[in-house]
Chains A and B, each alone.
Chain A
């Protein structure tokens, strides 16, 4: 039976460190918006060449992160409605709508004032909506747009095609020229190498942190608590601050693992989570699982911006090629659906999970379109108990709490029931 909901938000030391660092990142955005800071480069968080941006001392701005924050702060709905007034459809990705709404509302948010873009760098990594989102921002802001075209990882082999890597590397060289023109400086290769090294070490620590959830109990929730670590991973990767955060995070998580501390008083179910979370209702959603003692030990969402736990590292010796590989191969967004099935299966097997939970979000068809087939594969072919539930990542109108809770309760009740049968 479900217990009283324990307090489940992550409250460790790094929580505050994260708040400080991300607070500084946002202060930089505000400064840039007031013309007192660095040049603002809009980018997507899926595999991206932020290392190059850092090498030119420019500031990455992530509309996805801003949209997410707006949802968490429960500010998204009026902005979504404003975008729909402009002609966006109820069926369009609500990240885009919240962002466009925010753009036309003066780019002011509770966490920062978002600067106008100096360059719109559309790293087209997987999601086709990216292209349209940045196409629209380009038209609204009149800023230059560079479409960094990353071929989808569509071949069955373990490696992307050599011509794909070559094509992306060549485009990165073009991008360097663009950035050189914008900054009036030529690329400092030594500096880029140093940044690559920072990213490499950050990736190494993040990978080790991810492997800690193989322990029982898992020291943290790989879905809900990963979120806290994802912000520094994306916004601060390639900086000294970013590395320091992950050094602290690893220490803290390792200690928790050694002390057999988990996020809940008791870890009853180990689940793998697929799909982005419902940001406007993160708390309520988490509680639905916590009350059953269910802990996420792995999640695909925490790999949208990069997959490090299977060995990828940024390489200072081959900066452009390793950035290209990051974009082509080592992030969940650019992988095909079957590669995602494989990733999920590896989590189930190697991290030791009891079940798979698929959170299907209407906004993000990249993630969700076809998840019924995924369920079919896991339940019928692999015999992994699988729960599929639907809501949205940004638009609060699609979250029906009672209905979701019923589905989650029924699922874990039946898992619990099966366990007692096995015990008898």
Chain B
């Protein structure tokens, strides 16, 4: 790997390094240590993509992102439960359970994102009967005002279940405090993304990805400090712009791409100005308002002010229109569709995106990945060819 040697602020590097390490730990040691230090606290796992973490937090529990296991574990049991044509994250998440690595969790929340995730939630229920396993229905009829109201009711149902497990009935203030805390985190991440778009040489997509991921694996009270520290350090980071093409990356909203793959795409000559990594943990384009009906505000925010995503099918405006608008706003040169293998929602989106991008004459590249991939030669050469075709066009 050849990069221009620059003196980086070691503090930032140390933060990103430790975040990266945290994201590769299938034992969830950081969270476990936190739980040990906070006797009586319980943790709830959140499968992608959108999870109302505030409900968990306000109930007095710790929300954690349980998002597959990359290359960190060998799949030995889950393969016989889910077929070869099912995405990897479903299998590695189940494997984490079947190998007792999720025993420390009080429960798991799944969401109506796709058919495999739904069936996985049932398989969890059957195989881990002591766990609190819930499946949240996210409405798909946002053209109707009924949907928002319904989502608030659904949140109430989930909250009722959570408080039974935690023994704490959250008040409106509790909920608003949790919303405010997560607002702070999301605002920080939005700011980091803004900096990335404006000055992509200041922070790479791989770095903001490992940071966001680490945030799903620790207490939000700790994470908010880290985010704000990164923001404080970033302006002083010495770095120089490189000659790279500017791309928007789409399609990795659920199964996590290997960090090495993101780095490969960047090193092949791409500035990734924006992406949908962990979109459910960044979720809203603005703060959730702090008012006297927090569940309604959360539901309203999903309906009206959420980043578009492959699993929200809103007849009011097309996803492709969103994507193209983003390309224009961010002055991107191209789009990379980086979809998880077998990921039905992302792969369906690709067909529509491709058509719309062609019509808008925006170059694009499809890269399929699996979380467990660790050799990126093919992606590298495809990305390099793509970059060359754009640079020398």
Say yes or no for A9: interface residue by CB 8 A criterion.
no
B119 near A154 (CB under 8 angstroms)? Answer: no
The one of B80, B83, B144, B153 that contacts A368, using a Cβ cutoff of 8 Å: B83
Residues of B within 8 A of A88 (CB): 347-348, 351
- 8 Å CB contacts to B: which residues of A137-151? 138-139, 145-149, 151
Among B83, B141, B350, which residue has its beta carbon within 8 angstroms of that of A89? B350
> Which residues from 4 to 46 on chain B have a C-beta closer than 8 Å to any C-beta of chain A?
none
* Interface residues in A149-181 (C-beta closer than 8 Å to B): 149, 151-152, 154, 161, 163, 167, 170-171, 174
- Whether B140 lies near A124 (C-beta < 8 A) is yes
Which of chain B's residues have a CB closer than 8 A to the CB of A96? 348
Per-residue contact bits, chain A 365-387, to B (CB 8 Å; 1 contact, 0 not)? 11011111100110000000000
- The verdict on B115 contacting chain A, using a C-beta distance below 8 Å, is yes
**13 cross-chain CB contacts under 8 A:** A86-B355, A91-B341, A96-B348, A124-B140, A128-B311, A132-B344, A146-B315, A147-B140, A171-B141, A336-B118, A365-B115, A369-B82, A372-B79
Is B146 close to A, CB under 8 A? Answer: yes
The contact of B350 among A87, A93, A124, A147, by CB within 8 Å, is: A87
Chain A residues within 8 Å of B135, by CB: 152, 154, 336
Chain A minimum-CB-distance residue to B120 = A370
In Å, the complex CA distance between A57 and B267 comes to 60
Which of the residues B120, B126, B134, B350 comes within 8 Å of A377, measured between beta carbons?
B126
**A149 to B, closest residue via Cβ:** B141
Known: A136-B348, A338-B126, A390-B83. A369 touches B141 (CB 8 A): no
Mark interface residues in B54-78 (1 if CB within 8 Å of A CB, else 0). Answer: 0000000000000000000000000
**Given the complex of chains A and B, what is the CA–CA distance between A142 and B354 in angstroms?**
18
**Is the CB–CB distance between B139 and A149 below 8 Å?**
yes
Q: Which of B121-177 contact A (CB under 8 A)?
A: 121-123, 125-127, 134-135, 137, 139-141, 143-144, 146-147, 150, 153-154, 157
Q: CA of A86 to CA of B366 in the docked complex: distance in angstroms?
A: 13
Is there a chain B Cβ closer than 8 Å to A127's Cβ? Answer: yes
Q: Contact check, B146 vs A370: say whether CB atoms are below 8 A apart.
A: no
Q: Which residues of A contact B345 (CB under 8 A)?
A: 128, 132
> Using Cβ atoms and an 8 Å threshold, which residues of chain A touch B85?
91, 362, 365, 368
User: In the complex, what residues of A have CB within 8 A of residue B122's CB?
Assistant: 336-338, 370
Kindly provide the distance from the CB of A91 to the nearest chain B CB, expressed in whole angstroms. Answer: 5
| B residues in contact with A124, CB < 8 Å | 140-141
Give min CB distance, A141 to chain B, whole Å: 13
Q: Check B144 against A174 for contact (C-beta < 8 Å).
A: yes
Report chain A residues within 8 Å CB of B123.
Answer: 337, 370, 373
Bound-state Cα–Cα, A264 to B203, Å:
70
Q: Do residues B347 and A366 form an inter-chain contact, with CB atoms below 8 A?
A: no
Q: What is the CB-to-nearest-CB distance from A362 to chain B, in angstroms, rounded to a whole number?
A: 5
Restricting to B94-131, which residues have a CB under 8 Å from any CB of A? Answer: 112-116, 118-123, 125-127
Whether B315 contacts A145 by the Cβ 8 Å rule is yes
Measured in the bound complex, the distance between the Cα atoms of B315 and A83 in whole Å is: 23
Partner of B119, one of A131, A151, A337: A337
The minimal Cβ–Cβ distance linking B368 to chain A, given in whole angstroms, is: 8
Least CB separation from B358: chain A residue? A87
Kindly state whether residue A360 has any CB partner on chain B within 8 Å. Answer: yes
Q: Would you call B214 an interface residue if the criterion is a C-beta within 8 Å of the partner chain's C-beta atoms? A: no
Q: Assess the B112–A152 pair: CB atoms within 8 A.
A: yes
- A135 at the A/B interface (Cβ < 8 Å)? yes
Q: What is the bound-complex CA distance between A390 and B135, given in angstroms?
A: 28
Within 8 A of A (CB), among B361-386: none
Knowing A336-B135, A371-B83, A372-B83 are in contact, say whether A152-B351 is a contact too (CB < 8 A). Answer: no
B342 at the interface (CB under 8 A from A): yes
Residues from chain B with a CB closer than 8 A to the CB of A390 are 83
Decide: B313 and A171 in contact? CB cutoff 8 A: no
A72 within 8 A of B: no
Question: Would you call A229 an interface residue if the criterion is a C-beta within 8 Å of the partner chain's C-beta atoms?
Answer: no
Q: Does A129 reach chain B (CB closer than 8 Å)?
A: yes
Which B residues touch A89, using CB under 8 A? 347-348, 350-351
Q: Is the CB of B344 within 8 A of A365?
A: yes
Distance between B107 CB and nearest chain A CB, rounded to angstroms: 14
Distance between Cα atoms of A154 and B135 in the complex (Å): 7
Inter-subunit contact B127/A373 (CB<8 Å): yes
With known contacts A129-B344, A167-B146, A370-B122, A138–B315 Cβ distance under 8 A: yes
User: A373 touching B81 by the CB < 8 A rule?
Assistant: yes
Minimal beta-carbon separation of A259 from chain B (angstroms) = 42
Please encode chain A, from 67 to 88, with 1 for each CB lying within 8 Å of some chain B CB and 0 for all others: 0000000000000000100111
Taking CB atoms and an 8 Å cut-off, the chain A residues in 333-360 that contact chain B are 336-338, 341, 360
> Is B192 an interface residue, CB under 8 A from the partner?
no
Chain A residue, CB-CB nearest to B142 = A147
Query: How many angstroms between the C-alpha atoms of A86 and B350 in the bound complex?
Result: 10
Q: A132: nearest residue on chain B (CB-CB)?
A: B348
A92, CB-defined interface residue at 8 Å: yes
Complex CA–CA separation, A187 to B259 (angstroms): 57
> What are the residues of chain A within 8 A of B341 when measuring CB–CB?
91
A370 touches B119 (CB 8 A): yes
B193-248 contacts to A (CB < 8 Å): none
**A129 and B351 in contact, given A91-B344, A149-B139 (Cβ under 8 angstroms):** no
Q: Within the complex, what minimum Cβ distance (angstroms) separates B171 from chain A?
A: 23
Given contacts A91-B341, A370-B122, contact A161 B143 (CB under 8 A): no
Chain A residues near B349 (CB-CB < 8 A)? 132
Q: Contact check, B86 vs A365: say whether CB atoms are below 8 A apart.
A: yes
Q: Which of A127, A128, A171 has a CB less than 8 Å from the CB of B146?
A: A171
In the complex, whether B326 has a CB less than 8 A from a CB of chain A is no
* Residues on the B chain within 8 Å of A341, using CB: 126
B318 within 8 A of A: yes
| Smallest CB gap from A134: residue in B | B313
Q: Is B352 engaged at the interface, CB distance under 8 Å to the other chain?
A: yes
Any chain A CB within 8 A of the CB of B90?
A: yes
Note all chain A residues with C-beta closer than 8 A to B150: 149, 151, 163, 167
Most chain B CB within 10 A, of A92, A149, A336, A362, is at: A149
B78: min CB distance to chain A, Å: 9
On whether A151 and B137 interact (CB within 8 A), knowing A92-B344, A365-B115, the answer reads: yes
Report B-chain residues with C-beta under 8 Å of the C-beta of A338.
122, 125-126
B80→A149 contact, CB < 8 A: no
Cβ A152 vs Cβ B313 within 8 A: no
A370 touches B81 (CB 8 A): yes
Instruction: Tell whether, in the assembled complex, residue B347 and residue A92 are in contact, meaning their CB atoms are under 8 Å apart.
Output: yes
Q: A135-B352, A336-B118, A370-B119 are in contact. List 4 more A-B contacts (CB 8 A).
A: A129-B344, A148-B141, A362-B85, A365-B344
Residues in B with CB closer than 8 Å to A372 are: 79-83
In angstroms, Cα B81 to Cα A132, docked, is 26
Residues B255-272 near A (CB distance < 8 A): none
A362–B84 Cα distance when bound, in Å, is 9
